[in-house]
Structure 1
């Protein structure tokens, strides 16, 4: 990739890594389920008014919205609200990559090569190390909630893969139409009108400013700018060249949480994180020999289809 495009890929990883700090700030004021609904409602309203609906079957649009938008952030926000460390959340969410590979094999009958199997096994071992290390000093519930969020992301990946949207960014925007209504209903049922009313009544106070800044960052920079640049890059370069940059997300997430929040991951958690990142990179990057074999000098292969085309890399977006 040109240096400018490499810099853009790094920028997206930084934006998505910082997104976890923004979520943390928003959760200090808004109840988690209500926050998910509010986040996507802010995107959904202008999307319905201004953006053409993507030409994909409704079932895959809804499936992407339920998996990537609803389940991922429902469990991620619940886990972080229950006390799971912000930096570690950025790491555990990368479990979506091995989940996507395994679910693709089980549900879509995609063939698993030896490289993918080894990568999934290494990443799974890393997650087990992180979970055991965290669970030794804290309840395992928040860790499992974030892990369920990664599973939701993986289900959304499969739906977006089946959608094969001609304009992937339109799919990214329109999937935001799915979460608000069910999440508002769930928030009313679980968190109750009192908690929602208290958050709304105090939302214009000085104490709520960090929460609104975090929400604005998540919507504008984390979702619209980050996803927009990522889709643009994936449309111009093979997925194997762009996707590995997403492995910088947990590096940024852990480092910034360390600096801003004083979260210091244990040595075992860092070791497990290295296994997760290494396993996902190994599984998502084609072997050099196989990549070279595809090159035909007289007719160079075109860039990979834009996300979420038939075989996108599983680790994507924040």
Structure 2
């Protein structure tokens, strides 16, 4: 990315999303999939709403037009709502390595969907880099997978990956018309409303959850959700959806490193090799092609 702010925003997103895997592991002992998603989104929506209210009046709100609402609903329902619930539920049925492999088909789906629907095409560097990085994800997954994958867990992972990909592709055009923080808040709030049926379960489970689990939920809502999705949107405004999706191949590698440092889980040799492949693949995907890529101009 030429824009230093966008590059920094992408780095923050990758770090925060990687940390969320460690947080979800802690919270999963106290909260089930739906209530955990609702709690995370509720915290994120409240914090993002407060941030918007504190902004100058002229920057606070740009009224969405009618054509903005279908992609906003798709992004909120699929990426913020369905993806979070599906991933939380899947990790109760498949091991972390298998989940990482299956969920990270999403960047490939993003590249394909963006090429077909957003006119981004299929740059050679992006295709090659995505293939190399996906190979790294497969190595990471094979080094950590126990091989015990329930079929329903596999279905949930794939469903989550599809929801993630469609959500990103529907979000991209909105960022040329609306501020990043507003798009994130609207999508997060839509996801929160969609998860409200889990409210009774959340109240019940919070009553028995320990203080550590509650703090981890606050962390998930404040940082990987409110901040991480906003910095993602800022970065996405300045690049293609395909390239931004390829950047998230760094998330599994960083998640393994964080688990090593914070949970004492020593990564296998194949996981380290897979992380190196992810780095190479992302680097390749970010290189410029000889023909200039046409990226829609973003509003300042």
The TM tier, using the shorter chain, reads 0.7 to 0.9
Contact 1:98 1:123 in 2 (8 A): no
CA RMSD, 1 decimal: 3.9
1:97 aligns with 107
Deviation of 1:284 (Å): 4.1
Structure 2, unaligned runs of 5 or more: 54-59
Corresponding residue to 2:61 among 36, 52, 63: 52
Contact 1:54 1:167 in 2 (8 A): no
Deviation of 1:153 (Å): 1.4
Contact 2:137 2:274 in 1 (8 A): yes
Residue correspondence of structure 1 range 51-200 to structure 2 within 5 A: 52=61, 55-56=64-65, 57-82=68-93, 84-85=95-96, 93-108=103-118, 110-130=120-140, 137-139=147-149, 141=151, 142=153, 145-163=156-174, 164-185=176-197, 187=198, 196=202, 198-200=204-206
Distance verdict in 2 for CA 1:264–1:140, change over 3 Å:
farther
1:131-169 CA-partner distances (Å, limit 9, x unpaired): 555555332654653343232211111101232333122
TM-score between both structures, scaled by the size of structure 1:
0.70
TM-score between both structures, scaled by the size of structure 2:
0.74
Distance verdict in 2 for CA 1:183–1:224, change over 3 Å:
closer
Is the aligned partner of 1:31 residue 2:42?
no
Look up the SS of the partner of 2:186 in the other structure. Answer: helix
Corresponding residue to 1:253 among 252, 255, 259: 255
Deviation of 1:94 (Å): 4.2
Contact 1:131 1:143 in 2 (8 A): no
Deviation of 1:8 (Å): 6.5
Corresponding residue to 2:298 among 287, 294, 305: 305
Which stretch of the first structure deviates more once superposed, 63-72 or 108-117? Answer: 108-117
Distance verdict in 2 for CA 1:273–1:224, change over 3 Å:
same
Contact 2:45 2:226 in 1 (8 A): no
Contact 2:48 2:226 in 1 (8 A): no
Look up the SS of the partner of 2:288 in the other structure. Answer: coil
Which stretch of the first structure deviates more once superposed, 1-10 or 100-109? Answer: 1-10
Structure 1, unaligned runs of 5 or more: 295-300, 308-318
CA distance in 1, matches of 2:266, 2:102: 16
Deviation of 1:272 (Å): 4.2
Distance verdict in 2 for CA 1:176–1:280, change over 3 Å:
same
Look up the SS of the partner of 2:181 in the other structure. Answer: helix
Contact 2:94 2:149 in 1 (8 A): no
Contact 1:37 1:184 in 2 (8 A): yes
The number of equivalent residue pairs is 285
Deviation of 1:62 (Å): 0.4
